[in-house]
Amino acid sequence: MYFRFEILFIEGYTLGSSELKYFIRGNLMQFGIFTIGDVTPDPHTGKAPSENQRIKDTVKIAKHAEQAGFEVFATGQHHNPPFVAPGNPPVLLSYLAAQTENLILSTSTTLITTMDPVRLAEDYAYLQHLSDGRMDLAMGRGNTGPVYPWFGKDIRQGIPLAVENYNLLYRLWREAEVDWEGRFRTPLQQFTSTPRPLDDVPPFVWHGSIRSPEIAEQAAYYGDGFFHNNIFWNKEHVVQMVQLYRQRYEYYGHGKAHQAYVALGGQTFMREKSQDAWNEFRPYFDNAPVYGHGPSMEDFTKMTPLTVGSPEQVIERTLEFRQWVGDYQRQMFLIDHAGLPTKDVLEQIDLFGEKVLPALRKEFAKGRPDDVPSAPTHEFLKERQAAGNAPVAGGGVGSKAYEERQKAQEDKAE
């Protein structure tokens, strides 16, 4: 959005209505980086950074990303070593809100299963105020099994927890007084979550899942976004899950399938020359707990979106994603991975800023239909709500879901 804003003023335009719409709607696509906060030894030295170093460097990386032209920074949530991603992301994100101007602060992901939805409602609304709306969040169920018992939950209830907890969170942000009773937390009587969301507009939510159709369905039901973090998964899973989400988004009447909100992950390592990138990254790849000791880097780059090579190759590969899932709204990159020194990570960010992002913005804009929504911002959500166009959970009048519900009720009555 700020990119557009600058152009408008530098060229001395006054904001016409269509440009104003653009300004409010923001960029067609947002690009961001996300971290899982892993503390991984550098294979060249055998030494891992201290937790303090890694945490401070995370701040440095986020600020650098903003300067390079990324719109989004997202942090994972972790409760076990070797990770220092925060146990509650708003702790880091609030600090970043004070240290940045334009960056949208997000999560990758917030654990909707083991966190109390009341605390999520409170903490993220607080972050929303501090950041002037520069935030959203991605919900996930986590991939570390023992986190469930550590927080007194049952992993076999993963999906039901995600379903019930998010439903409560959704209501807490939209209803001033909530009466609520469920399976997984104590009931609430006339409960008001504070602070209320900024401008009474709840933060945008992405629902993340690799292969649980229930979560794609959940995102579609509420008219929220769907985040497929495809970093370890084959193309087929990505395509299927996004397709399902898009179909159901249309079924619930929030728009056409191609208008649903999609975010993807990806991971890269670049050098100007492809061969340099391969040589330099290989020892990191081979030794990192998340990559190494399995498929070769050659195979891994074929099977997953990991792209090691020149900026041109990263551009080319990323543009392919559009052919998989259609025009989408957000592309996140994992680049502080595998124990790379912070200096190298910052260089990666510079390469993105100089070469990759401008090219991606230009190419992704080509042929993108006008009716595909831009990446969501607080300003956009505010306008959408004021215009009475906020999605109706489960499908409002005119949606296929609504029709089917009506018909089912009539059939029952007869």
Partner 1 sequence: MEASFESTDPFTPDTLHIAVVAAGLSDPSSTSLLGKQLADATADALSQRGYRPEMHQFELREVATDIADSLVTSSRSERLDEIIKEVEQADGIIAVSPVFKASYSGLFKSFWDLVDNDALTGVPIQLGATGGSPRHSLVIDTAMRPLFSYLRMRVMPTGVYAATEDWGTAKTDSNSNEAYLSRRIVRAGDDLTDVVTRLDPRPRRAPSQPKELEVIPFEQLLNGPDK
Residues near partner 1 (CB under 8 A) are 159-160, 163-164, 167, 213-214, 216-218, 220-221, 232-234, 236, 239-241, 244, 247-248, 291, 293-295, 299-300, 303-304, 394
C-beta of 245 vs 380, nearer to partner 1: 245
Nearer to partner 1, 236 or 370 (CB): 236
How far is Cα 153 from Cα 283, in angstroms, rounded to an integer? 39
Quick check: 361 and 329 in contact, CB under 8 A? no
Closest CA to 400 of 274, 279, 221: 221
Q: Which is nearer to partner 1, 159 or 319 (CB)?
A: 159
Choose between 73 and 261: whose C-beta lies nearer to partner 1: 261
CB of 297 to partner 1, least distance (A): 12
Give the orientation angle of helix 400-413 with respect to helix 235-251, to 10 degrees: 60
Amino acid at 342: T
Q: Report the C-alpha gap between 399 and 161 in whole angstroms.
A: 27
CB of 393 to partner 1, least distance (A): 9
Strands 178-180 and 188-191: antiparallel
Residue 301 CB, nearest distance to partner 1 (Å)?
10
In the bound state with partner 1, the residue whose beta carbon lies nearer, of 82 and 160, is 160
Neighbours of 272 (CB within 10 A): 11
At closest approach, how far in Å is the CB of 10 from partner 1?
46
Q: What is the 8-class DSSP label of residue 81?
A: T
Smallest separation, CB 19 to partner 1 (Å): 38
CA gap 41, 49 in Å, rounded = 7
CA–CA distance, 144 with 157 (Å, rounded to integer): 14
CB of 342 to partner 1, least distance (A): 26
100 vs 287, beta carbon nearer partner 1: 287
| Nearest residue (CB) to partner 1, 163 versus 308 | 163
Residue identified by tokens 């670049």 is 270
Min dist CB 31 to partner 1, Å, is: 24
95/170 with CB nearer partner 1:
170
Tokens found for residue 149? 């018992």
Beta carbon of residue 306, minimum distance to partner 1 (angstroms, whole number): 9
User: 141 CB contacts (<8 Å, ≥6 apart)?
Assistant: 111, 112, 113, 158, 159, 161, 162, 209, 212, 215
20's CB contacts (< 8 A; 6+ apart) are none
How far apart CA 263 and CA 242 sit, in angstroms, is 9
- β-partners of residue 308 are 269
140, containing H or E segment: strand 136-140
**Which C-beta is closer to partner 1: that of 232 or that of 278?**
232
CB of 389 to partner 1, least distance (A): 21
Please say whether the beta carbons of 152 and 113 come within 8 A.
no
Distance of CA 59 to the CA centre of its chain: 18
Q: Which is nearer to partner 1, 104 or 242 (CB)?
A: 242
Q: How far is the CB of 275 from partner 1 (least distance, A)?
A: 24
- Residue 156, classified by CB atoms within 10 Å of its CB into exposed (0-12), middle (13-18) or buried (19+), is exposed
Beta strands in 125-169 (DSSP E): 136-140
